[in-house]
Every structure is written in structure tokens, then in C-alpha cells.
Homo-oligomer: A and B are copies of this chain.
Amino acid sequence: MKPDALRGHLDALLLATLDGRQLHGYAIIEALQQGSGGALDLPTGTVYPALRRLERAGHVTSDWSTVGGRKRRTYRLTQAGQRALQAERSAWREFTTVIDGVLGGGGKWAQT
């Protein structure tokens, strides 16, 4: 999968990954890897700044902890993040519906 296809959908992925559980950044990357069957291998330079963005936006909050001598910043959704996730999900559904319509029915098969 070409990497820049994610453009504009990364927030949805991160919010969905944090839905119903709290994870630290590194674990989020692994969760996305496994949850996508290996298709998504996001670099830290993509995920960490994105999490900061989401925190600034009030969609997630974070707490520091130390596990086995290593510092972790554990993220969890806020209520606003929950709402944002719902909005992202419906936006995604609308988006795919539109693109599917054009890719499948926008060409010569368009029998109005």
C-alpha cells in the first residue's frame, strides 16, 4: 500500500486503536500492525507527532508511567475523542461510499 494513502485518515486509525483500551505509543504501532495484518507499519515519526496533535486537540490524554525501567506515555480517549471517533467513522463511511460510487459507477456504467 502506498504510504501517503493514509493522508487524512491517520487520526481515525489512532482513535479507533485507543477505543476501549489505553495504550502507549509503541504499543499503538504494534496494535495497528497486527490489527491490519501487517499492512500498516507506521514509523514513530508519524505516530508520535500525531498523538501529540490529538492531545492538543483534546481527543486523547496521556499519563506517564515507568514499566521495567522504561518510561511510557499511556494514551486514552477523552469524551471528546469518543465523539471524534464516531465522527471519523461516519466520515469514513461517507468517504468510501462516494469513492466507491465513482470508481464503480462513475464511468461508462453510469445509467442515470
**Interface on A for B, CB 8 Å cutoff?**
1-2, 4-9, 12-13, 16-21, 31-32, 35-37, 39-40, 88-89, 91-92, 94-96, 98-103, 105-108, 110
Q: Give the shortest distance, in Å, between A108 (CB) and chain B (any CB).
A: 3
Contacts of A19 in B (CB 8 A): 106-108
User: In the complex the two chains form, what is the Cα distance from A1 to B97 in whole Å?
Assistant: 11
Contacts of A6 in B (CB 8 A): 8
CB atoms of B13 and A103 under 8 A apart: yes
Contacts of A7 in B (CB 8 A): 4-5, 7-8
CB atoms of B17 and A94 under 8 A apart: no
Q: Give the shortest distance, in Å, between A103 (CB) and chain B (any CB).
A: 5
CB atoms of A9 and B99 under 8 A apart: yes
B5, B18, B20, B105: the one within 8 Å of A9 (CB): B5
Q: Which residue of B lies closest to A112 (CB)?
A: B34
B2, B17, B36, B94: the one within 8 Å of A91 (CB): B2
